[in-house]
Structure 1
Amino acid sequence: MATQPGVKKYDAVIIGSGQSGTPLASALAQSGRTTALIEKAHVGGCCINEGCTPTKTMIASGRVAHLAHRAAEYGVWNVPSQNLEKGHKVYHSKDEGGWEKVNQVVDMQKVRQRKRDIVDSFRSGSEGRLDKQEGLEVIRGDAVFKDERTLTVKLAEGEEEIEVEADNFFVNTGERPSRPNLPGLDSLDPSRLLDSTTIMELDEVPHHLIVLGGSYVGLEFGQLFRRLGSRVTVLQRGKQLVPHEDAEIADALKEIMKAEGVRVVLNTTVANIKPDEGTFEHKVIVFYPDKHGRDVALSGSHLLIATGRTPNTDTLNLEAAGVEVDGSGHIKVDEKLQTNIPHIYALGDVHGGPAFTHMSYDDFRILKANIVSASSSSPPSTTRYRQVPYVMYTDPQLGHIGLHEHEARAKYGDASIKTATMPMAYVARALENDESRGLMKAVVHGVSGQILGFTCLGLEGGEIMSIVQTAMLGKLHYTVLQNAIYAHPSLAESLNNLWGFLQ
């Protein structure tokens, strides 16, 4: 197809600068291909701007508040000085509703600015590297398919539009927070209706944060703002928190949340929402039935919607390119991340599956191997059989790799499965830190002795999980970990003892 006058032509065009699209753009340009990276918002995608980086930065502030709150348990007291301003004294008491008051001074604007500074640093670093890359043009604008070989891009500055053609397209547009269709949701004051992005821009601590959804987003933010002084109530539709986890893990996590003062309501469905015309503390009313079917009216200051994410495909005009999507709007891809249109690929969250930054980055590795570094002597890289580790950054962390028990039993049958469960209270290093909440659990194939899955809800659970993941990558027998020599005292040495509980 001949390029039309005024149309910009490239070898490769990436739509979206997320954690797979950005390094892929650089790799393609370095290989000598003329490359364009189109971004309508900000470089770095969700991870840097609204996801991993900002949330974990704020969670670190919450952990400091939590440890300060527990200081006396370690023999350390905050002794107020006559020079402290009123309100700077740290003390703890119960309010009229039975909620424990955390009367530390929390400067929410400082928490927010610290988050902004780190995000800006990460983002500017990515932008700087892209700007220096020869053969790569960054186009700021909103891209829409005109046909399978052409994009129309409305530039970010002004109303100008350009057309872009390419031999290959790579869609890396990610996802956004979903907004459920709940009666009354649109009637709320927008400043009190929050999602995982807007909640991080609050300039004050909510009086009572109501959270819809009891998984990663809901629990990380729920615990964070409880530690910063909010009342927090989590409403979960299912019978347990984090519904994909095994029941004993979910139950332990629920008890950890409750011990910190987070109220958890399970098996409930929100019937209606309406604004409350009361004070700052009362701006949202959520109606739901209790376990007896009686209506409950829960009043709060803010409502966080944490009920899932939606792929950013609805504005791409994929129909014009002939690209197929599934019922949820995710782009359908094969194991090489190719769509039904051979020269169009999809990377990261936009194609569905596990929505984790590290999985998105692995998509980049697959495409780099197959397109940039392809060799006739090596088989193509694919998504088949790749491991999916993840960590939920509650405190303690919940790290997981491989199959859960219920998945392993469904795949291999009950007779082939052994499990080992050990409380973190049996781990010396956790006891020494006085952070022994949670448990670890392993799933083992009873015949081969290979580890099929592992979960750690505990201090640095993600780091412990990563050790087991390495053993699984090497297909090691569980006894290799059982008999290994780990430094003492360390969290890793818990992997000596866990396997003694196999049954």
Structure 2
Amino acid sequence: MIRTFDAIIVGAGQAGPALAGRLTGLGKTVAIIERHLVGGTCVNTGCKPTKTLVASASVARYAQRGADYGVGVGQITIDMPVVAARAQKVILDSRKGNEDWLASMPGLTLIRGHARFTGPRRIEVDGETLEAPQVFLNVGGRASIPDFPGVDQVDYLTNSTIIPLQIVPEHLVVVGGSYIGLEFAQMYRRFGAEVTIVEKNTRLVSREDEDVSAEIRAFLEAEGIAVRTDACCITLAKHGSGVKVGVDCTEGAPEVVGTHVLLAVGRRPNTDDLGLDAAGIEIDDKGYIKVDDHLKTTADGVWAMGDCNGKGAFTHTAWNDYEIVAANLLDGEDRKVSDRILGYALYVDPPLGRVGMTETQARKSGRPLLISKRLMTRVGRAVEKAETWGFMKIVADAETKKILGAAILGTGGDEAIHGILDMMNADASIGTLQWAVPIHPTVSELIPTVVGDLKPAS
């Protein structure tokens, strides 16, 4: 017997429940299939719990720096079970909120189990067959485990398994010097661990401009984090103290011994056991589902949203995928992924807020550029808070006078970047932003000043 619905959604991450809400609100019957935890990565192993841990680490850092502000705080201690319990509560509360939301939708059936296609728009879950004229994939991703020699011989942590950790490692070795790795590295250093970052590239967060990478490395090292770049041959092996990580770097000791190792070398989509071939759904060489500008897959009546489509690895891009699909299918609009101006943040402290092109990308485009940069030592708000690492940088097109991209690496950078992101979305010229009158004292108040300092690129 086949159960039929108006729509089937596979995955209850960020995009799936929101789309289910729109569809059931129109009186449609919807099945949403979830094999693990409602809420997806953001709620269970990503943004929510990690930023909760970051908040605890920030409080620890403020306490450690109390004397800098004339505040005596005494001996600083970290109660890791309480820290972990805070994160767990945020997870459970958020997950329950999502589950209650789904339960409130008339016409929605939540099915627990692993979904596999058996044909076009036909899915089997634990022996039951479901069918619908429209299918939406929101299956997310997971930590990528590299094939380092010895990886199968040691105990390692991932971004998921490190969250409930009840202890502060004596020495945490973080393999991977990008967004996830750097956040956990700084966090656990502030909790009291010795931390070493191992990165195969010549610099940290290599997708960013060199000045951004260098500044991030500088303030991480200033906190006592060891950084090993150019690790061209990473190996893992058991050691009496925990784990031995072979790095074979161009300088320094050829190996690092830690009590714990965190693998943070990227993500992979959850597309390898969905029976996509049976439905005529194509994937690329990295496993991401191929979609067009409207998020349609290569199979009629099937769309893919969120991390699994390779169009964005963030909660906000997954949500925007939902918005695009809903607007096009239900509101008669013509929204496209290519219209999206991508912004994101790296939640080290101070944070990096980014939007649009990097300076490197803009220079490679060959267009005439205007560039401006201001150190955070010249931003009053940063000076007042004694948080002067970083800088603000804007890149604009010299002919169109439109902003191409910006980076704010500094206190409040993850919030202040939105002033630039909004102007870019409004397609406003630099003159419009230059004549804004922001509030003093803030980080954002310097944005018009930085715009006014734009000069032709040398």
Shorter-chain-normalised TM-score: which range? over 0.9
1:218 to 150, 158, 181: 181
2:275 to 306, 314, 317: 317
Tell me, in whole angstroms, the C-alpha distance in 2 between the residues paired with 1:354 and 1:270.
29
Tell me, in whole angstroms, the C-alpha distance in 2 between the residues paired with 1:109 and 1:220.
19
- Give yes or no for the alignment of 1:166 onto 2:128: no
Partner of 2:386: 434
The normalised TM-score by structure 2 is: 0.97
User: What pairs up with 1:242-391 in 2 under 5 angstroms?
Assistant: 242-277=205-240, 282-292=241-251, 296-374=254-332, 379-391=333-345
Tell me, in whole angstroms, the C-alpha distance in 2 between the residues paired with 1:501 and 1:218.
35
Shift of 1:113: 0.6
Shift of 1:500: 4.3
1:123 to 76, 89, 95: 95
Tell me, in whole angstroms, the C-alpha distance in 1 between the residues paired with 2:337 and 2:326.
13
- 1:57 partner SS: helix
When residues 272 and 384 of structure 1 are mapped into structure 2, their CA distance, relative to the original with a 3 A threshold, is closer
Confirm or deny: 8 A CA contact 1:31 1:372 kept in the other structure. no
- 2:172 partner SS: strand
- 1:333 partner SS: coil
Letter in structure 1 aligned against 2:277: E
Confirm or deny: 8 A CA contact 1:270 1:286 kept in the other structure. no
Tell me, in whole angstroms, the C-alpha distance in 1 between the residues paired with 2:234 and 2:424.
45
Tell me, in whole angstroms, the C-alpha distance in 2 between the residues paired with 1:316 and 1:487.
51
- 1:226 partner SS: helix
- 2:6 partner SS: strand
- 2:5 partner SS: strand
- 1:354 partner SS: coil
Gaps of at least 5 residues in structure 1 are 1-5, 80-89, 91-103, 155-160
Shift of 1:423: 0.5
Letter in structure 2 aligned against 1:313: T
Tell me, in whole angstroms, the C-alpha distance in 2 between the residues paired with 1:297 and 1:237.
13
Letter in structure 2 aligned against 1:307: V
Tell me, in whole angstroms, the C-alpha distance in 2 between the residues paired with 1:40 and 1:472.
39
Confirm or deny: 8 A CA contact 2:296 2:304 kept in the other structure. yes
Letter in structure 1 aligned against 2:401: G
Letter in structure 2 aligned against 1:463: E
Letter in structure 1 aligned against 2:359: E
- After superposition, what is the alpha-carbon deviation per residue over 1:378-412, rounded to whole angstroms, capped at 9, x for unaligned? x4211122111101111111010011112112224
User: What pairs up with 1:417-432 in 2 under 5 angstroms?
Assistant: 417-432=369-384
| Coordinate RMSD, CA, aligned | 1.2
- After superposition, what is the alpha-carbon deviation per residue over 1:214-233, rounded to whole angstroms, capped at 9, x for unaligned? 11000000000000001111
- After superposition, what is the alpha-carbon deviation per residue over 1:120-141, rounded to whole angstroms, capped at 9, x for unaligned? 1111111101101101111111
Letter in structure 2 aligned against 1:144: R
Query: Rg: which structure is higher?
Result: 1
- Give yes or no for the alignment of 1:477 onto 2:443: no
Write out the 4+ residue segments of structure 1 that deviate beyond 6 Å after TM superposition.
Answer: none
1:496 to 442, 448, 451: 448
Tell me, in whole angstroms, the C-alpha distance in 1 between the residues paired with 2:382 and 2:432.
23
Partner of 1:229: 192
Confirm or deny: 8 A CA contact 1:287 1:295 kept in the other structure. no
- After superposition, what is the alpha-carbon deviation per residue over 1:207-254, rounded to whole angstroms, capped at 9, x for unaligned? 101011111000000000000001111111111111111111111111
Letter in structure 1 aligned against 2:256: L
Gaps of at least 5 residues in structure 2 are none
State percent identity of aligned pairs: 37
The normalised TM-score by structure 1 is: 0.89
Confirm or deny: 8 A CA contact 1:335 1:384 kept in the other structure. yes
Tell me, in whole angstroms, the C-alpha distance in 1 between the residues paired with 2:235 and 2:357.
37
1:455 to 398, 407, 413: 407
